[in-house]
Amino acid sequence: MQRLNGRTALITGSTSNIGRAIAYRFADEGAHVIVSGRDPDRGQSVIEHIRDRGGRADFVRADLDGSSSASATLAREAVSAAGGRLDILVNNAGIFPSSTTRTVDDDTFDRVYGVNVKAPFFLVQALVPTMSASGGGVIVNLGSWVARLGIGSGALYASSKGALETLTRAWSAEFRADNIRVNAVSPGVIRTPDLDSDAVYPGEALMIGTPAGRAGHPDAIAAAAAYLASDDAEFVHGTVVDVDGGRVGVAVVTGN
């Protein structure tokens, strides 16, 4: 049974990794997927893959810099490509520049908050009226495990994902009268699927002491996003679903 049959979905940053996996899963679930990203070649590759499997997909290029105009343009073009309505928005696009608190400069700070916080904020602002006019919709945000478990690097990124998780709860309350459900998925350490299977992935070390004991695959995040976007989650509101191999909630001690 295709849980998203007849629905349209915009997935930002969906030309690679987690976003691409979500696009594939949503298409398999029956959704007409609007793939979005900066690289038209990668976007074309994603939509061709979906179409080859019998799904529906279109690509809309977008460079979400945090400006309201960039988000509004994507919203307008996505709605047009989707046939005049949009049922699901997945705010996946994000950046994680290598930096520490001591090394972050103004430009890096503004870019991280522009892409990770302002872009989804203004995209929601632009799309809520369309969703509301169509009877409602679903918003799924992508948080991160580092928003709630402190680590010694990536403070700027962690704070931006914490902001998006906070917006998830606030939007759930704000848009309840519009019949718009808002939830988030918080990925753990996810191995880039494009890496050679024998390549050593440094992120694996961060999963020591967890039930999973290893990094996850983007498909695990896609499965959670598909659930939240579907009617199976109709009673789920303002929730952040941890899909992290137990990283945030469980400590596994050797020998126990």
Kindly state the tokens that stand for 213.
């004991």
What is d(CA 197, CA 193) in angstroms, rounded to the nearest whole number?
8
Of 24, 113, 157, 201, the active-site residue reads: 157
User: What's the token pair of residue 166?
Assistant: 């906070």
Exposure b/e, 98-112, CB count within 10 A at least 16 = b: ebeeeeeeeeeeebb
- The candidate with the shortest Cα–Cα distance to 147, out of 215, 214, 242, is 242
Q: Let me know: does 185 contact 143? Beta carbons within 8 Å.
A: yes
192 vs 28, 90, 107, 127, CA distance in Å? 21, 19, 27, 30
Known catalytic membership, residue 157: yes
Rounded (10°) angle between helices 218-229 and 17-28: 50
Helix, strand, coil % over all residues of the chain, rounded to 5:
45, 15, 40
- Which positions are catalytic? 157
